[in-house]
Amino acid sequence: MSDEDGAAAPTCAGGPSIAVIGSGPSGCYVAQFLGKQWPNADITIFERLPTPYGLIRYGVAPDHQGSKAVTKQFDRLFTTGGVRFAGNVTVGRDVEFERITELFDIVVLATGLPADRELGVPRPADAPVIGAGGLLRALNGHPHAIALHGASARGGLGRRLVVVGMGNVAIDVVRLLSKEASGLVGSDIDDQVRQLLLPESPASIEVLSRSSAGQAKCDVSMLREVLSMPNIAATATGLTPHDDGPIAEMLRSASTESPETTDGAETRTRVAFHFRLSPERIEGTAGGGSRVHAVSEDGSRHVDLVADTIVTAIGFTHGCEADPCCPTTTWSGAHVYRVGWLSRGSVGTVADNRKQARAVADVIIDDVNAGRVSVGRPGFRALGPSMHARVVSFAQWRRIEEFELSSAPPDRCRRKITDVDHMLAVAGYP
């Protein structure tokens, strides 16, 4: 790899060779902490896309630009911190994982959990069910967000939506799918995907939560943001007098008026939160939609909801075990560590990722200092001809970024390139 017009290539002298696989927040944080401990370490962050920052770029909702601003801190890793970015490199395909462990003193897996967890209830094979992660990646302009082809073939998501889950990802989905265009100014949402999926605003969004309102997993601020939207009419079922806490109180005081048109305003989207209910099965309907049968844990409550699309927000997995690029249990060793969602599951915020990355970095430092991990492997420079010719450096990523920023319409902060070949062309590869 050439480091021309980027940060100077790190040297091995005086520090270990470190490979971080995955350039999301956990991978960047652990590289940051290890770089502070060993300023002369040879640290390389591998990323399968030509673009860095993973969850921040493609998972954080496009209308939450404040949360994405942490990338400015990570930029300094590559521009002044001596960390090498090796984009467009898929470990397991472009270079074997075993080769990485052979050549690097320390290997940190920070690949995250890219696949949506399956709902796991009886349903027709063609039921219109999509994962929230895939939906958010598509709205964020991810080049591999292919899970929505069925929705586009149906003419969009439809106007009757059911969201399964009550965590922050579910609330992101509710907000983005019901937000008016004026609320997306300054975002980096993929407008083409949004128009394809939502040619009309949803009439209703039904949210199913198996927990009580008091045990709901979403942040209070996230729900407050949804309830404050002027085009939302919120209701809640399954609340009991024993439910306490801010989420229950907010929903009790939320407007329960029926959606209506006033003073020329658009018809509001009705958002109904159903607590203590889980999907039991999904059946097709004569009109081409689906019927979601939901039931309470004790069987005392049953609800049938008709949906054009069902969005599941119930967690993530690392992908198919048969995929050679997925970090299975065989991706292990005395000098191999895991961090972030791959390590602890799909919970926590970016701040939680930082805290855990600090803890993992401390373990690595202790292992090296105690001699449990030996130092002396050559690192990135020894990969040599085994690497393919189109590795994207951080300087080349900056060319991609500049193109996206300069291509943005006035009401967007950037227009992402959604095709890898286009990214590589902008980076300077033929």
| pLDDT tens-place string over residues 146-161 | 656 667 667 899 999 9
**Whose CA is closest to 290, among 141, 126, 410?**
126
Average pLDDT over residues 80-104: 94
CB of 109 closer than 8 Å to CB of 337: yes
Point out the least confidently predicted range of 98-107, 169-178, 315-324, 379-388: 315-324
Q: How far apart are CA 211 and CA 198, in angstroms?
A: 29
Q: Return all residues near 132 (Cβ < 8 A) that are at least 6 apart.
A: 116, 163, 165, 169, 170, 172, 173, 311, 312, 313
The pLDDT score that the predictor gives to residue 388 is 75
> Is the model's pTM score more than 0.85?
yes
* 349: confidence class by pLDDT, cuts 50, 70, 90: confident
pLDDT at 22 over 60: yes
* 268: confidence class by pLDDT, cuts 50, 70, 90: confident
CA 238 to chain centre: 30
Q: What three-state secondary structure class fits 282?
A: strand
**Whose CA is closest to 65, among 229, 220, 186, 227?**
186
- What residues does 337 pair with on adjacent strands? 108
Average pLDDT over residues 180-203: 94
**Whose CA is closest to 238, among 252, 218, 224?**
252
Point out the least confidently predicted range of 58-72, 87-101, 106-120, 380-394: 380-394
> Which residue do the tokens 């075990």 mark?
321
Average pLDDT over residues 254-258: 54
Domains in the chain, ordered, with CATH? 15-114+318-427 (3.40.50.720), 117-316 (3.50.50.60)
* 198: confidence class by pLDDT, cuts 50, 70, 90: very high
pLDDT at 351 over 90: no
The pLDDT score that the predictor gives to residue 345 is 79
The pLDDT score that the predictor gives to residue 285 is 87
Average pLDDT over residues 21-30: 96
To the nearest whole percent, how much of the chain has pLDDT over 90?
76
The pLDDT score that the predictor gives to residue 147 is 54
pLDDT at 264 over 60: no
Beta strands in 110-224 (DSSP E): 115-116, 129-131, 160-164, 204-209
| More confident site: 238 or 289 | 238
